[in-house]
Amino acid sequence: MTGPEPTERALLISHLHDQFWSEEYYLAAQLVRQWRGGGTDDWAADLFRELDGVVALPEERRRLVERTNAARRLIKSYFRKTHQFCSRGFLAPEDLRGHLTMAQRLEILFEIIEPFERARKTDYNREMFDFYDDLHRGEFERPGR
């Protein structure tokens, strides 16, 4: 497969940049950080336990649990999308390393999203997480690794 034309690649990077810097992403990041900071030591598993019994939760708590799960899924999808674009040759690793998924942005992936994935399924697919860890040459502490 040949890579995209420079203009197409620039448009793709611009689009992804807009998503990572969007209000939607910002609000999602706030929600998952609040969930991590406001719960127990088992905060990641708490989300899935509450999702399993969401119909029995009080309305306000149900909305929080559902919104937090939607935020988790949104953030994960942004990282998965950029990983797939890179794996399929539409982006170069340097496009991600230097701009879209710079080190400070990956903290949320490793400190919040990966623990959620591990809590959801102990044999979760590590491919995307390993990709980003390798992209930054293993600079990150990955919980449970």
Tell me whether residue 25 is in a domain.
yes
Q: Give the domain extent around 107.
A: 6-135
91 backbone φψ class: left, alpha, beta (φ>0; ψ -120 to 50): beta
Q: How many domains does the chain have?
A: 1
Give the C-alpha distances (Å, rounded to integers) separating 71 from 5, 36, 40, 64, 103.
Answer: 33, 13, 19, 10, 20
pLDDT tens string 43-71: 999 999 999 999 999 999 999 999 999 99
Residue 143 lies in a domain: no
pLDDT greater than 70 at residue 142 = no
**50, part of any domain:** yes
Looking at the domain assignment, is residue 1 inside a domain? no
Cα 94 from Cα 101, distance rounded (Å): 10
Confirm whether 39 is domain-assigned. Answer: yes
* Cβ burial, residue 55 (10 Å; 0-12/13-18/19+): exposed
> Residue 134 is encoded by which pair of tokens?
């390798």
- Whole-angstrom distance, CA of residue 114 vs CA of residue 59: 28
Residue 99 lies in a domain: yes
In a domain, 144, yes or no: no
Q: Is residue 34 part of a domain?
A: yes
Answer yes or no: is pLDDT of 129 > 50.
yes
Model pTM score: 0.88
Q: What are 15-45's pLDDT values in tens digits? A: 998 998 899 999 999 999 999 988 788 999 9
Evaluate if residue 144 carries a pLDDT over 90.
no
Q: What is the pLDDT at residue 2?
A: 57
Q: How far is 132 from 145, CA to CA, in rounded Å?
A: 14
